[in-house]
Chain A
Amino acid sequence: MAIGKTLVAGAGLSGIRSALDLAETGYKVLLIDQSDHIGGLLCQLDNQFPTSKCGYCRMLPMFDRDQSSQHCLRKGLFHKNIEILLSTQLMSVEGEPGDLKVTLKQNPSLIDPSLCTGCGECERICPVFVDDPFNEGLTKRKAVYLPSPQSFSNTYTIDYTACTRCGECEKICPTGAIKFIDQNREKFKILVVDDEKIVRDSMKEWLKEEGFSVTAADSGQKALELMDDRPFNMMLTDIKMPGMDGVELLAKAKEKNDDLCVIMMTAYAAVDSAVEAMKQGALDYLTKPFDPDVLISMTLKVYHEFEIAEARVEQVDALILAGGTEFFKPNLGKNPYGYGVLPGVVTGMEFERLISGTGPGKGKLIHPKTGKPVRKIAWFQCVGSRDVQTGAGFCSSVCCMISIKEAILAKEKFGQDLETTLFYMDMRTIGKSFDDYRLKAREENQIRFVRARIHSLDEDLKKDDGSLLARYVDMQGNIHEDDFDLVVLATGQRPAKQMTELALKNDMIINPWGFIETTPFSMIKTSRKGILSGGSLSGLKDISESVTCASAAALGACKIMHEAGKKTIDAHAIDMDETDLNGLAVLARENPKILTVLCSCGSDLTQTLDVESLKLDLNRIPENKSVEIMDKLCTDEGKKTLVDMIQKTNPNRLVLGACLPCIYKQRIKELGKESGLHSSLVETLDIISILKQYPDSQIPEMTQRIERELKILISKARFKNPVPKERLESNQNALVIGGGIAGITAALSIADCGYHVDLVEKDDTIGGNLLWMDKTVDGLDIQAYLDEKVKELEFHNQVTIHKKTKTESTGQHPGEFSTLLKKEDEPKDPGETILHGVTILATGGGQAPLEVDADDPQQKELTQKEFEMGVQDQKIDPEKLETVVMIQCSGTRDEKRNYCSRVCCIRALKNALFLKEKNPDIQVYILYRDMMSYGFYEQYYTNAKNSGVIFFQYDSADKPLTQMQEDKVLVKTRDLLLDMPVEIEADYVIHATGILPDLPKALADQYGASLDTFHFFKEADSKFRPVDSMNYRVFSCGLSLKPCTIEEAVVTAEAAAIRAIRILSHERLVSGKIVADTRTATCSMCEMCVDTCPYGARFVDSIEERIVIDPAACQGCGVCAAVCPSGSAVLEGLDMRLMLDSIDMAVS
């Protein structure tokens, strides 16, 4: 039975999340990305909102950790079940889910990663300088470069388009890692069309010199004739030409030969006609007069596409598109802020690079152009979003939070005296802890929030130091002029161009703005079965939503693979070399015998090291049997000699000093397979980079340094206990508590992947909040969706539903929970105890009650829920209403409950539109503080205004007041703009009181989960593990996790499902090599280690009076070992004996 395999296109943050989820479950994953490093946007961000901290590495697997890399993800990622292809593009997809044929196109990597030691000689020699996209073009880099500064493999990469093939690097590379494939540029035929002879001839000259075959034509007509008799690959055409102009020629040429690449040449004035031409298929445009380098590099770019003919075809079961989104480029279109023209105007991403340690400022905040220190910074919100002028009728929902974070970071990193100002229309802090973050920014960091939209920017001519002048009007209507050193444009999001093209080619539906459309009530299923949208591809999401969608997409893929009958690896076959239990147990009783091997890597080590004295000193350590010098371990013969040496002297430990590629974990695992020496007993040292870093230090000093490093490794090797942890029995049944839409979806998702689920609901009907809702704001029928899901649930053989049932956890021990289920209305029923491996808390939440002191007999003041139910039960007839007032943030987003419940603004717009549709001349007023119609819901905000709804903004300090007046409600508020009091007599006042979670603390405590300050479920990491709790077997979704719409609840449920399945898919879980253990004999049960463990991996077994550890939950941080005075809590692999001896060696 074949093992399931999924292709994840896009290795950004979401791609990595989907890939890891599937790989941990046991499926094979092919992870591709068009850029030269993984991590996408995340590599350029040092910190993320809403904590302005970094949590990237918390995405790594928790159990079975040795299968994957155990270091900062910015250094790169490897996992046994994931194959990563960089600089690779997905060209096309055919076939059905379970049998998809995908064609990929990969840039041939001219540098062999297994040979490149990262010495950097080629970079020093390379003559070509190019704008570095990693620093958003603020710095330069060579054509051969390190993809991302921290990348572990630090294999150099050649920028295929920028490289001019001068061959210098090929000559200088010490390990011969660089080989150029020969090029035949004559095959590439170019047609140049321009009515001016001088332009034609000079271009012909330049291109001929580069080796291309060039033909010239003086008019459009002639060009078409030439195209008839022989094919061309590329055409460069002027626009302003007598007879047939360039645009017309473009259309005709495209008819003749569709994949002809056309580049328009235009005078400066006619730029927009060139942009117009691009819309009809032109690849790019050049503005005359242009210099040859621009022409050459653009031609090379086109030639590069032509050159890579062969593509790679793969057979996969499911495809996850995780291409993410691109940021809006402010210089397209009207560019009112002079981006690219005025010196101090930068985008959000450029600012992130400016403040980063690896950025242009090298850790100091300096002006990108003038280099002077920056003191006054402004952030302009809604650049390229909520702005019809740039074709964006939507809100990108993340830029507000990004700007707040950047402002806080700037102040914290470069001094609180920095002046930071945010200009915004609505500050959309829509996440759970986002509003707190904004308050912290305003109160603690004194960041100025100004509600105004800056229309344009120009240089402050009075001060010629390049500072920028901004004019804006404040709420009271007077005009201000402020100048700033730096202006950061909070650019909105645009669909990833490559992904949209792919979607169009595969006739997938995309929404009016080019984002991929997902099916109703789902954020991951696209209109094409088998292709799933992961991460922010299908719309504008922040990190935690993208990660949730990525996990949900992984769930979708897992369901497809399960239905196609594909198996996971764990069930398939246990990988013998890793867990050869008895072999290692014998080894444990042997005295350590260490072999130390150094690779001279082509050079003669005796020049740089006093090898004799090194051998002498190391052999004085009894456990170290011999020191050998070998050569070229990277080659096969080299490896052969090493394997023979091991088999001959048969040591049980190895200390290997070699170059970086030779000491990768995978290479050591291969060596382990061949030589029989277990990979966990090999200690490695990158001696080549140490030798390279200090070339001029004399022999004795360098010998002493290398000797000391080797001694530390020898002491680690000799005290290492080889016995691996035994594999932990893990229960493969799931318990879902709560029968709302989140619980239903989680249960169904797990059951669809073949695992049994117990669904517990305390009422007697399944459906939770969806029972009283009828339509969503997009007009989708909720009741139909709910009925379909409930039917699916009731007939599913893997789901057991327990209605009117309470749960009571009766203990958790490693690998398993036990829970007592008791019927609600039968007190004497003893209840049924079930055992389960994972718990999903989906107890949901509800509308907060209305705290209005005025007596209100006729129920004229209602919450949104009461109003909607009133309408459904015909108690309220919209036709007879004259005036309705809706008050947002009523009793919420203040000191008592300071979080935005995210959905009330959308719900208010839905009700307003519903009322207007039912009774057009009804007067509807919405009183709001910040209109949180984020993402694509912005269009409903516009529709509401169009249908005549009047919006009043109110200040949180001066809340609207309501009082009864006969049968009407008098609402008193103030119109901030007209600066005059407003009184409205309304038939009904609808209060948006926000959402309260319904997750009792007792229930959470029973399962080792905890609640956050707002009494929602506390996530392990709000961004990178959004549905997990610190206890790795407990998850949550739906309203009990965070306020969310129905789609978002469904997607968190699917994410929780895959996070559970990755545990359920293993009968036995294995922990990492470095894991905690207890020496019960010396333990005095003070439980200090139990309290300090952040993962709740330690339990007190009071019967046997010992501390029990769940090895799969333990992450090997060693905090317990440090807090235990008697050394009874031990970190296997890095225990105290080993550390003390290493210190001895280090100080000697």
Chain B
Amino acid sequence: MGTFEPVIVAFVCNWCTYTAADLAGTSRLSYPTNIRLIRVMCTGMVDPQYVIKAFLEGADGVLISGCHPGDCHYINGNYKARRRIKLLKEILPRFGIEKDRLRLTWIGASDGIEFAEIMTRLNDQIIEMGPSQTRLNKAI
């Protein structure tokens, strides 16, 4: 029986992180395939509802990855995202969704290698945490 393959949803910003993802692809770096990338224009547009929806639908981990502070194409989208993730990291653990299942990272346009490493590290940590409780019984 293979190890448990987590379902991880990654909201990836169209500018720096997506460029790094493409770079990881073209430089043939392999990273876990069970991470589903959803391209958003900016991490600032990731509504807390998207994260809640992902967890309630059975995601074991949610990653939000955007540009380094100061690199954001829209100047301050990433700062606003950071505050929303801080809010969610206060609310979700209250209901049993461990703090480390929701992650926020900054990835630069030429950090292809780092992108692949982060994806693998995230995947290993979520495997360690085991399946999320919503996968076993869905929230009503």
Determine how close the nearest CB of chain B comes to the CB of A1114; give it in whole angstroms.
11
Binds B, one of A52-60, A979-987, A1042-1050: A52-60
Known A-B contacts A693-B25, A1094-B75; the reply to A46 vs B110 at CB < 8 A is yes
Asked if residues B38 and A712 are in contact (CB atoms below 8 Å), the reply is: yes
Asked if residues A1147 and B58 are in contact (CB atoms below 8 Å), the reply is: yes
Asked if residues B110 and A357 are in contact (CB atoms below 8 Å), the reply is: yes
The CA of A1115 and the CA of B41, in the complex, are separated in Å by 10
Determine how close the nearest CB of chain A comes to the CB of B122; give it in whole angstroms.
16
In the complex, residue of chain B having the shortest beta-carbon distance to the beta carbon of A152: B22
Q: CB-CB < 8 A to B16: which residues of A?
A: 54, 72
Q: CB-CB < 8 A to B75: which residues of A?
A: 1020, 1030, 1094
Asked if residues B110 and A1122 are in contact (CB atoms below 8 Å), the reply is: no
Binds B, one of A270-278, A532-540, A589-597, A1137-1145: A1137-1145
Q: CB-CB < 8 A to A154: which residues of B?
A: 26
The CA of A58 and the CA of B75, in the complex, are separated in Å by 9
The CA of A1147 and the CA of B60, in the complex, are separated in Å by 9
The CA of A1073 and the CA of B55, in the complex, are separated in Å by 30
Known A-B contacts A358-B23, A694-B33, A1136-B47; the reply to A71 vs B14 at CB < 8 A is yes
Q: Is B74 close to A, CB under 8 A?
A: yes
Q: CB-CB < 8 A to B111: which residues of A?
A: 357, 363
Known A-B contacts A150-B109, A689-B25; the reply to A1117 vs B50 at CB < 8 A is no
Q: CB-CB < 8 A to A694: which residues of B?
A: 30, 33
Asked if residues A1146 and B110 are in contact (CB atoms below 8 Å), the reply is: no
The CA of A466 and the CA of B80, in the complex, are separated in Å by 47
Q: Is A362 close to B, CB under 8 A?
A: yes
The CA of A942 and the CA of B68, in the complex, are separated in Å by 44
Asked if residues B45 and A1117 are in contact (CB atoms below 8 Å), the reply is: yes
In the complex, residue of chain B having the shortest beta-carbon distance to the beta carbon of A123: B28
In the complex, residue of chain B having the shortest beta-carbon distance to the beta carbon of A56: B109
Asked if residues A74 and B109 are in contact (CB atoms below 8 Å), the reply is: yes
Give A1098-1139 interface residues, CB cut-off 8 Å to B: 1115-1119, 1121-1123, 1131, 1134, 1136, 1139
Known A-B contacts A689-B25, A1117-B45; the reply to A1146 vs B113 at CB < 8 A is no
The one of A71, A118, A1030 that contacts B19, using a Cβ cutoff of 8 Å: A71
Determine how close the nearest CB of chain B comes to the CB of A53; give it in whole angstroms.
3
Known A-B contacts A1118-B41, A1123-B80, A1143-B9; the reply to A150 vs B22 at CB < 8 A is yes
The CA of A75 and the CA of B69, in the complex, are separated in Å by 20
The CA of A1074 and the CA of B27, in the complex, are separated in Å by 30
Asked if residues B77 and A1119 are in contact (CB atoms below 8 Å), the reply is: yes
The CA of A1143 and the CA of B9, in the complex, are separated in Å by 8
Asked if residues A1122 and B23 are in contact (CB atoms below 8 Å), the reply is: no
Asked if residues A1131 and B27 are in contact (CB atoms below 8 Å), the reply is: no
The CA of A55 and the CA of B67, in the complex, are separated in Å by 11
Determine how close the nearest CB of chain A comes to the CB of B87; give it in whole angstroms.
12
Q: CB-CB < 8 A to B59: which residues of A?
A: 1147
Determine how close the nearest CB of chain B comes to the CB of A607; give it in whole angstroms.
19
Asked if residues B26 and A118 are in contact (CB atoms below 8 Å), the reply is: yes
Q: Is B93 close to A, CB under 8 A?
A: no
The one of A693, A1116, A1146 that contacts B28, using a Cβ cutoff of 8 Å: A693
Asked if residues A1117 and B112 are in contact (CB atoms below 8 Å), the reply is: no
Q: CB-CB < 8 A to A150: which residues of B?
A: 19, 22-23, 26, 109-110, 112
The CA of A1123 and the CA of B71, in the complex, are separated in Å by 21
Known A-B contacts A120-B28, A1143-B50; the reply to A362 vs B44 at CB < 8 A is no
Q: CB-CB < 8 A to A204: which residues of B?
A: none
Q: Is A708 close to B, CB under 8 A?
A: yes
Contact code string A919-947 (vs B, CB < 8 Å = 1, else 0): 00000000000000000000000000000
Asked if residues A1118 and B40 are in contact (CB atoms below 8 Å), the reply is: yes
Asked if residues A1122 and B47 are in contact (CB atoms below 8 Å), the reply is: yes
In the complex, residue of chain A having the shortest beta-carbon distance to the beta carbon of B24: A693
Known A-B contacts A54-B109, A58-B73; the reply to A1140 vs B53 at CB < 8 A is yes
Q: Is A373 close to B, CB under 8 A?
A: no
Asked if residues B27 and A149 are in contact (CB atoms below 8 Å), the reply is: yes
The CA of A1146 and the CA of B15, in the complex, are separated in Å by 21
The one of A51, A74, A1139 that contacts B70, using a Cβ cutoff of 8 Å: A51
Asked if residues B41 and A1134 are in contact (CB atoms below 8 Å), the reply is: yes
Give A694-744 interface residues, CB cut-off 8 Å to B: 694, 697, 701, 705, 708, 712
Asked if residues A1134 and B38 are in contact (CB atoms below 8 Å), the reply is: no
Asked if residues A53 and B9 are in contact (CB atoms below 8 Å), the reply is: no
Asked if residues A357 and B47 are in contact (CB atoms below 8 Å), the reply is: no
Q: CB-CB < 8 A to A71: which residues of B?
A: 14-15, 18-19
Q: CB-CB < 8 A to B25: which residues of A?
A: 689, 693
The CA of A937 and the CA of B73, in the complex, are separated in Å by 36
Determine how close the nearest CB of chain A comes to the CB of B79; give it in whole angstroms.
10
Q: CB-CB < 8 A to A146: which residues of B?
A: 26
Determine how close the nearest CB of chain A comes to the CB of B114; give it in whole angstroms.
6
Asked if residues B53 and A53 are in contact (CB atoms below 8 Å), the reply is: no
Q: CB-CB < 8 A to B30: which residues of A?
A: 693-694
Q: Is B54 close to A, CB under 8 A?
A: yes
Asked if residues B38 and A1094 are in contact (CB atoms below 8 Å), the reply is: no
The CA of A1094 and the CA of B80, in the complex, are separated in Å by 11
The CA of A621 and the CA of B18, in the complex, are separated in Å by 28
The CA of A1094 and the CA of B74, in the complex, are separated in Å by 7
Instruction: Point out which of A70, A72, A1030, A1123 has the most chain B C-beta atoms below 10 A from its C-beta.
Output: A72
Q: Is A993 close to B, CB under 8 A?
A: no
In the complex, residue of chain B having the shortest beta-carbon distance to the beta carbon of A58: B73
Determine how close the nearest CB of chain A comes to the CB of B14; give it in whole angstroms.
6
Known A-B contacts A357-B110, A357-B114; the reply to A1119 vs B80 at CB < 8 A is yes
In the complex, residue of chain A having the shortest beta-carbon distance to the beta carbon of B14: A71
Determine how close the nearest CB of chain A comes to the CB of B16; give it in whole angstroms.
6
Asked if residues B15 and A72 are in contact (CB atoms below 8 Å), the reply is: yes
Q: Is B3 close to A, CB under 8 A?
A: no
Q: Is B49 close to A, CB under 8 A?
A: yes
Contact code string B108-120 (vs A, CB < 8 Å = 1, else 0): 1111111000000
Q: CB-CB < 8 A to B102: which residues of A?
A: none
Asked if residues A1147 and B14 are in contact (CB atoms below 8 Å), the reply is: no
Q: Is B46 close to A, CB under 8 A?
A: yes
The CA of A810 and the CA of B32, in the complex, are separated in Å by 57
Q: Is B82 close to A, CB under 8 A?
A: no
In the complex, residue of chain B having the shortest beta-carbon distance to the beta carbon of A1146: B36
Asked if residues B44 and A1147 are in contact (CB atoms below 8 Å), the reply is: no
Extra contacts, 7 of them, besides A705-B33, A1094-B77, A1140-B49 (Cβ < 8 A), are A149-B27, A150-B26, A363-B111, A689-B26, A694-B30, A1119-B77, A1122-B84
Name B residues whose Cβ lies closer than 8 Å to a Cβ of A.
7, 9, 14-16, 18-20, 22-23, 25-28, 30, 33, 36, 38, 40-42, 44-50, 53-54, 57-59, 68-71, 73-77, 80, 84, 108-114
Some 6 contacts from A to B, beta carbons below 8 A apart, are: A72-B18, A74-B19, A1095-B74, A1121-B47, A1131-B41, A1146-B54
